[in-house]
Every structure is written in C-alpha cells, then in structure tokens.
Amino acid sequence: MPVLDDNELTLPSVVATLGERHADRRLALTLIFHPQTARIGERAWLPRLREGDSPWILGRRSPDFGRDGQTEPGPLEELHVSRQALALSAEGDGLLLRRLPASSRCRVAGRELEGEVYLTGEQLQRGVPLLMGHAVVLLLRYGQCGEAPSRPSRTHGMRGSSRYMSNLLEHIEQVAGSDMDVLIRGETGTGKELVATAIHRASRRADGPLVSVNMTAIPQGLAAASLFGAARGAFTGAHKATDGYFTQAEGGSLFLDEIGDTPQELQPQLLRALQQREIQLVGGPVRRADVRIISATDTDIDAEGCGFRAALKHRLGGCEIRLAPLREHPEDIGELMLHYLAACREEAGVALELPSPRCGGRRLAAWSELFYLFLCYHWPGNIRQLANFVGQIMVASGDALVVPESVGSALRAFTHPRMAKSDPPAGSPGRRMQQVGEEEFAAALRDSAFEVARTARQLGVSRQAVYRRIEASTRHRLAEQVPLAELQHTLATNSGDLEAAALALRVSASGLRARLRAAGAASRV
C-alpha cells in the first residue's frame, strides 16, 4: 500500500492561523472546481470516522455540499463521477483512501490512484487535492467544524468562502470602525494593499483621500520632504513650497507600504508625526495632521538587528492584521481562480468560453486539470502570483484554453515524482546537498521565490549549503551578484515593483531590498 510523501503535499496547516481547537477538527471536502461554477467553494463535512467503522463512501450522490447555511446542500450530481467512487476508512491517526472497483478515475496529490493510499494526519492537516472523473476537483482537509462567524455583507472585492476569509472580513469591519493606526503584515502578494483600501472605504474617512506610498520608491535624500513637505528654498531645487504625503492625505488615510524599509534616519520623525499628529516641514513650520496611518510590511520588523525601531512598530500597530499566505487557506483557490479568469477575460477581450456545463467533455477536462494543478501548487507569490498566472493564460488563449509553457512548467515542477526508498524525502533534516539534483535545486529555488531560507527548508539542507551552491553555480546567483545597471534597468522595466523585479532577475526580494539599501547608503558617502 503506497504512502504519499510529505513533499508531495504543498498545502500546510492553517489550524494555528485560524485559532482552531484540536478537539473541533473535522475532515472537510471543499469544491475547488465543478462544472456548475456557482458551486465552487461549497463544503461537506465528513462524519467522525473511527477504526473498525464501515467505510464512508464518496461519490456522485453523497455527501451533500453547501456554503455554511447560505445555500441548499446538495450532492455532486456530476455524471463523470461514479455513484460510489472512493471509500474512506480511519486507520490510526490517518485515513485509508480506496478507489472502488470499476469506479471513475481519481488522482490524489498529483498521482493516479489505482488501489488504495494511506494519508497521514499531518498530510490531511495540510490538505490533499483530489481530481475525480476529470470533472470535479476537491480538497480533503481538516477544518474547524461548527458555526462559522457571520459573514459581513461587504466583501470589499475579496473572494473566498473559507473560515479564514470570513474572519478577515469581520476583522476589517471591526478595525474600520475605529480611527486607530493599522499595521498589516503578511508575505508578498497576500493582498495587503487591498485590505488597506477596504479599511479606508469602510471607515468614517471614506469620503477623504487615500494616499498610497511605497516606502522603497522614495529617494532617501528626499524622504522627509516627500512625506512631510518642504518650504520654498529649503534645499537646492526647492523653487516653491511643496505638500508632502501627510498633507495630501489630510482628512483621509495614508497607506505606507513596505514600511519595514523606512530609512533609519527618517524613523524618529515618522514616530513623532504619529505620536503628536504633527509634521515638521523641511525648512518650514510645524503643522497639525489629521490623517490615519495604515502601513504594511512583508519583512520581519521584530527580528534582532533589522534596524526598525520597536517604538515605531508599536505605534504603527495600534491594530494589527496578519494576512495568511494562500497556501494556508487553499479552500479559496477555486473562487479566486474563477474571479481572475472572468476579470482577465474581459480585460484581454478574448473569446475563450469560461467553464460551464455547456463545455464539451474535453474542454471540461482541460478546465478541471488546470484548477487541479493550481490547487497542487504552493504559491510562493500568493494571490498576486495566482492572478499573474491567470493573466498569462488568458493572453495565450484564443477560443480554446492554452497554458503557456512558463506557467505550465512552474505548476508541474512542484508535483515531484516519488523518490526511491533509499533516498531521504525532501525537507527531512540533515540532508546533504550532494543528494540534491540540479533540476530539483532549480525547482526549489523557483518555488521558494529564490529566498535562501525557504529553499533550505524545502530541501532539508542548511542555508549555508544553499549559499555555497548558488555561489558556485553558473546558472544561479545572489542579489549581490547582479550588476547595478541590470538591477536598475529591471526595476524601471517593472515600474519600481521590487518583487516583480526580483522574480525577473531570479533572485530573492529580501536580498534585492538589502542590495538597494546598501547602494543607497554608499551613494551618500
């Protein structure tokens, strides 16, 4: 009986993220794809399975799927799925998944299921993708059973029916009702700017301006003038008085993105502005500032030696929202895909028919395969990367679905083949770099957005080993090895978007950020 390797499952647990209690855990099946796309996001709860119980049957007529009381529950009723497709039995802390004789085909976490497979409790906590009958994609995963938080009437343009998303929307409404400053934390691409916009629009300041500022894009020598304004003649070239971002946001909200990259010399002035709600114009008077600060960062501003003042962090985070990476709420992947497919189709003006029961068998199979690959992927770039992949697919498609090679290879690369029993699994502690092949190393770098620490964790090697391999390679490089002219050109090509530039250069965003800070410091010497 085969056992799925942990490295084949790309969806880690969200139990801690959502504050679930272990005793409340129940296995759930979430619809990631169904020909009736309005059903995507529906969920069915499995009964509490115990060893010795009769197998629980999954198929066309059972179980019933619904959306937390919002829709009338109903079975899959998809003809490509057998009436009795899979039998699920409890075994130890895991689950035995068995394909019933003569039933429709099923793929489990990237491989064809011929007989049976044992899923460990850890794998079920991370999430197991299922493709059934080339027409339905399901996520089998532990979740918190019980009454979900009431979903706010406003969704603020966000998509997803997971408990995490309901909690996030509720938190946004609560935070918007106060006038406290807000710090939004989360990995790149998790939607920090979207959350900031939602908070502003739901607040009493909604009629005022929302001014968005990327702190990494402000020239360090002009940072104070850019934020607080400057009097005429305050410095060379200041031919007239200028308003800073604080003044432009008067009566509204000021969104400071990438706040973790605020220059150290500017931090005391920013702290005073937050504490006193007063700004000091460069070469000019002190002014009152009626503005709410919403800031965001994907860097660890709590880390020792990061150079970010603790007092400023605490002042920025009067309220704090932590956004989970997409891999921690994979239940939302289907609804996010559907949203971006419709949006990109309209924007690109393509004739591609979106999935529906009207699609023929082959087209339906192509759509379900795409949703399945998206579910198997682990999304180092989060929702932004998902939207980017969907956009590339729409540009490549005409009246038929086409997945460009750049997207297809990235999606397929993360579904690793089973390793020989003599080989230690990827991600196991104490693995030697000599055991890592070149293609596996390249895939791990790409899947980890070229971040050394994430690559090391995925491969189960030390960070020093990853650094040494990159430095010795002619194929890979560190951010510090990128010529400054190439770096500046790539940044300009990507409109100053540091994350996009890092992906284009195939280096880590954190390393690129450090390189830019060092270059800025050197230019001032």
pLDDT, tens digit, for every residue of 24-72? Answer: 679 999 999 999 999 999 999 999 998 888 999 999 999 999 987 667 8
What does the pLDDT read at residue 479?
Answer: 86
Instruction: Determine the average pLDDT of the residues in 201-227.
Output: 90
Considering only CA atoms, which of 331, 397, 290 is closest in space to residue 137?
Answer: 331
Q: What percent of the chain has pLDDT over 70?
A: 87
What does the pLDDT read at residue 415?
Answer: 53
Contact criterion met (CB below 8 Å) for 371 and 356: no
What does the pLDDT read at residue 242?
Answer: 80
Q: Three-state SS string across 151-214, please? A: CCCCCCCCCCCCHHHHHHHHHHHHHHCCCCCEEEECCCCCCHHHHHHHHHHCCCCCCCCEEEEE
Q: Give me the chain's average pLDDT, please.
A: 84
Q: What percent of the chain has pLDDT over 90?
A: 48
**Full-prediction pTM beyond 0.85?**
no
What does the pLDDT read at residue 239?
Answer: 59
CA angle, 155 then 158 then 159, to 5°: 105
> For residue 268, what are its two tokens?
């005391």
Distances (CA, A) of 269 to 96, 179, 254, 309, 446: 60, 21, 16, 12, 39
pLDDT greater than 50 at residue 92: yes
Instruction: Determine the average pLDDT of the residues in 482-500.
Output: 86
What does the pLDDT read at residue 430?
Answer: 53
Instruction: Determine the average pLDDT of the residues in 143-149.
Output: 69
Instruction: Determine the average pLDDT of the residues in 97-124.
Output: 90
13-27, 140-154, 297-311, 415-429: least confident range: 415-429
pLDDT greater than 60 at residue 405: yes
pLDDT, tens digit, for every residue of 323-343? Answer: 999 999 999 999 999 999 999
What does the pLDDT read at residue 15?
Answer: 28
Looking at residue 525, the DSSP 8-state letter turns out to be: -
Comparing 286 with 80, the larger pLDDT belongs to 80
pLDDT, tens digit, for every residue of 427-483? Answer: 444 567 888 888 889 888 988 888 887 888 788 888 778 888 998 888 999 888 888
Q: Three-state SS string across 5-64, please? A: CHHHCCCCCCCCCCCCCHHHEEEEEEEEECCCHHHCCCEEECCCCCCCCCCEEECCCCCC
pLDDT, tens digit, for every residue of 446-459? Answer: 888 888 878 887 88
What does the pLDDT read at residue 367?
Answer: 95
| Bond before 285 cis per omega within 30 degrees | no
pLDDT, tens digit, for every residue of 416-428? Answer: 333 222 333 344 4
What does the pLDDT read at residue 41?
Answer: 95
Considering only CA atoms, which of 69, 132, 141, 166 is closest in space to residue 330?
Answer: 141
pLDDT greater than 90 at residue 110: no
Considering only CA atoms, which of 114, 86, 89 is closest in space to residue 100?
Answer: 86
What does the pLDDT read at residue 522?
Answer: 45
What does the pLDDT read at residue 296?
Answer: 96
Domains by residue range for the chain, with CATH? 6-148+327-413 (2.60.200.20), 181-317 (3.40.50.300)
pLDDT greater than 80 at residue 85: yes
Q: How far apart are CA 512 and CA 120, in angstroms?
A: 39
What does the pLDDT read at residue 9?
Answer: 34
pLDDT, tens digit, for every residue of 253-264? Answer: 999 999 998 888
DSSP-assigned states of every residue in 266-298: THHHHHHHHHHSEEE-BTS-EEE---EEEEEES
pLDDT greater than 90 at residue 230: no
pLDDT greater than 80 at residue 241: no
What does the pLDDT read at residue 66?
Answer: 93
Q: Is 220 helix (H, G, I), strand (E, B) or coil?
A: helix
pLDDT greater than 90 at residue 210: yes
Q: How far apart are CA 29 and CA 108, in angstroms?
A: 13
What does the pLDDT read at residue 21?
Answer: 39
pLDDT greater than 60 at residue 14: no
What does the pLDDT read at residue 197?
Answer: 96
